[in-house]
Structure 1
Amino acid sequence: MKRTGTIITLIVILIAFSAGIWYIYSKDKTDPIVYETEQASTKTIVKKTVATGSIVPKEEVLIKPNISGIIDEIFVVAGDVIKSGDLIAKVKVVPNVNSLSSAQNNINSAKTQVETSRLAFESQKSIYNRQKELFDKGVISANEFDQAQLSYDQAQQRYNQEKVNLGGAQQTYSIVKTGTARGLGASANTEIRATVGGMVLDVPVKTGNQVIESNNFNDGTTIATLADVDKMIFEGKVDESEVGKISENLPLEITVGAIENKKFDAVLDYIAPKGISENGAIQFEIKGTLAKKDTTFIRAGLSANASIILAKATDVLALKEALVQYDTETKKPYVEIATGDQEFERKDVELGVSDGLFVEIKSGITKDDKVKVWNQLKPAGPGGPGY
């Protein structure tokens, strides 16, 4: 038994010795870890968020008729540049039978009133003339003559007023029948004119289309849409996760898909106070006024992207953000710089603006320092880089 125990002990020792030799051999065969290095460089770092939208005029004016009817003639097309007061279209009035009949009845009634007041005036005029003769001869008193003159003046005033009423009834009839009347000028006119100057963006009607006047109960038919294309804005939306990062008066860089190799400067001047739910996400409307510095024509409605510049650092020392580490306890940033062959030393750094790829280095390292890259590489050769 004693001999058997000795043999077992020797076998265990032999196995342990063989395992140790194999471990040492394997360690000698393992390639050493190699770390590459990179250096900081001078860059301009821009921190921004992107909003999608379109380019639209700052103000659009809808030209509507002041009378209902049928388009008789159109004098402009989309793209024309016109001035305030220029003729856009003519409307031919199609009178309503009931309105026309009512207007005609008003004329007949007014004529009757004129004739009645004329007869009354003629009667008072005769009485006045007789009383005046008697007053001149001293037959009647001044009070009696004053009463006769008052009645005469009142009759004349009523007669004149009834003539005015007749003229108004005839004018109303003319408006109902033709759309215009003598003496009203532009108040009732079949000519549709521009109320402002600018470019015609759209003419949604054609000759022969029926149009409705703008009134308290109806917006009316749009004859044309005008806008000043030199005053354009970007109109877009940002997600609720980004709206807290932006504020009014931030600079924008606008890129238009249809215009290559062009960027347009703008200023963010509106952020909607209330969001709108779209596809399960809350979106906030934003607007930015373009500052056009060249003659590039931007068509209304073009799709565009706006880069909202949150922060910008020009010509600063920058490093790839992936090379920056953070202390597990203090959470402060640091890097490791080379002090020798595969020897590194920790350096605390102060960071500035980041765009997600590069970060500004305010202090801690210089442009000449070689910063440790945290990917482990094998040396060149079988299994190494480039093999």
Structure 2
Amino acid sequence: MHQPATSPPAAKPIEPGAPKPAVALPRRRKSRRRRYILIGIGALLLLWIVGAIIASKREKPIPVITEKATKRTIVQLVSATGKVQPETEVKISPEVAGEIIELPVIDGAEVKKGDLLVKVKPDTYKALLEQQEAAISSAKATNLQQKATMMKTEQDLKRADDMYAKKTISIQEYNTAQAAYDVAKNTYESSLHEIERAQAGSSQARDQLSKTTIYSPIDGTVTLLNSKLGERVVATNQFAGTEVMRVADLSHMEARVDVNENDVVNVKVGDKASVKVDAYGDRKFHGTVYQIANTGTTTGAGTQEEVTNFQVKIRIDDHDVLLRPGLSCTADIETDVVKDVVAVPMQAVTIRTGDSNL
């Protein structure tokens, strides 16, 4: 049985002035797109955080250089700094006190062995010598007198001995003569010692007088002059004495450097060294280690900066340049040499830990 076809109901006419119905589909699409964008941003942020955490756990790459390994000669060096000083330097200090009346040298003057360097006023020491000479004369005169007395008492003793043998004098008189002789003999011997004492005093006074004049003990140069003409100096037997000047042989110089206690065990007498003096730029002087200190010098004791160094003396073999005392220098001491070994530069070597991911 067929149902009659029905036509769709006719749309209700919209009254004039009534609001239009809202369209829902475009607004839903816009909300979904915003949600996708937020999810994408969150995922990118999460990936960035995870990547940063992984990167922080990885060992940072170490930049290195590459170079072919070749056979070379490797030299182990110990570097140290110090000063250039003459091998032979003499401090001139008078052994007697007084006023300087002669000073014929100036700072930097060349002197020969035996040249006059300084003369101290000798008047006091001349008077002392004359006094001791007079004491010798007086002691000798006393000795002659005591000798005559002894000879007289000796004769009296012999006479008393004969008379006592003949029973013409008593034992008391004989003993008196014997005692007089013994006293005279002892006095005479004492006068001999007085002569020796006066002679010793004279010798000492003469020695002091000779020390008022000081001559150069070596060929060299006056490297330091502390005193001037007319000044008074103190003798070396009185405290430290006055250092008038220094004379040094500048033809033989050395570098005195301070080597750290950790490196000095590798340094040996006879090791070759290269010495760079600051005043001469990049020029290097050849030298040889000839002395190593047995006792170290500690600076900054009891602090975090405590350092112990040992002085090493390096004889400079180059003599074509006149070096001055006190110049700053840096020495590289060759402590070991290995020839024909496969080597690469230190910049091409890296150290990685066991858990490295590189």
Q: Same fold (TM over 0.5)?
A: yes
Alignment of 1:266-305 (within 5 A): 266-267=288-289, 269-270=292-293, 273-277=296-300, 281-296=305-320, 297-305=322-330
Q: 1:314 to 1:298 in 2, by over 3 A?
A: farther
Q: Which aligned runs of 4 or more in structure 1 are off by greater than 6 angstroms?
A: 1-6, 8-12, 103-108, 113-117
1:244 equivalent to 2:276? Answer no
2:241 paired residue among 202, 207, 220: 220
Aligned partners of 1:81, 1:331: CA distance in 2, in Å? Answer: 71
1:209 equivalent to 2:231? Answer yes
Partner of 1:40: 68
Aligned partners of 2:209, 2:122: CA distance in 1, in Å? Answer: 15
Aligned partners of 2:79 and 2:331 also within 8 Å: yes
Deviations 1:225-260 (A, max 9, x none): 23444554323446xxx6534533265321012235
Deviations 1:248-298 (A, max 9, x none): 326532101223523223337248634212998444434333243332332
Partner of 2:256: 235
More deviation, 140-149/222-231 = 140-149
Give secondary structure in 2 for the equivalent of 1:125. helix
Task: Give how far 1:88 is off.
Answer: 2.9
TM-score (structure 1 length as normaliser): 0.55
Partner of 2:332: 307
Task: Give how far 1:54 is off.
Answer: 1.0
1:258 equivalent to 2:279? Answer yes
Q: 1:141 to 1:119 in 2, by over 3 A?
A: farther
Aligned partners of 1:114 and 1:166 also within 8 Å: no
Task: Give how far 1:63 is off.
Answer: 2.4
Task: Give how far 1:214 is off.
Answer: 0.9
Aligned partners of 2:253, 2:212: CA distance in 1, in Å? Answer: 32
Alignment of 1:45-60 (within 5 A): 46=75, 48=77, 50-58=79-87, 60=89
Partner of 2:103: 74
Partner of 2:47: none
Partner of 2:188: 156
Task: Give how far 1:306 is off.
Answer: 1.8
Q: 1:59 to 1:157 in 2, by over 3 A?
A: same
Aligned partners of 1:73, 1:201: CA distance in 2, in Å? Answer: 19
Aligned partners of 1:159, 1:328: CA distance in 2, in Å? Answer: 95
Give secondary structure in 1 for the equivalent of 2:189. helix
Deviations 1:24-45 (A, max 9, x none): xxxxxxxxxxxx9954265655
Q: 1:284 to 1:308 in 2, by over 3 A?
A: farther
Where is the helix percentage greater, Structure 1 or Structure 2?
A: 2
Q: How many residues align?
A: 296
Give secondary structure in 1 for the equivalent of 2:154. helix
Cα RMSD between the aligned structures? Answer: 5.3
Q: 1:234 to 1:116 in 2, by over 3 A?
A: closer
Q: 1:9 to 1:167 in 2, by over 3 A?
A: closer
Partner of 2:213: 191
Q: Which runs of 5+ in 1 are unaligned?
A: 16-35, 335-387
Aligned partners of 1:199 and 1:228 also within 8 Å: yes
Task: Give how far 1:190 is off.
Answer: 1.8
Aligned partners of 1:211 and 1:220 also within 8 Å: yes
Counterpart amino acid of residue 219 in structure 1: A
Where is the strand percentage greater, Structure 1 or Structure 2?
A: 1
Aligned partners of 1:233 and 1:288 also within 8 Å: no
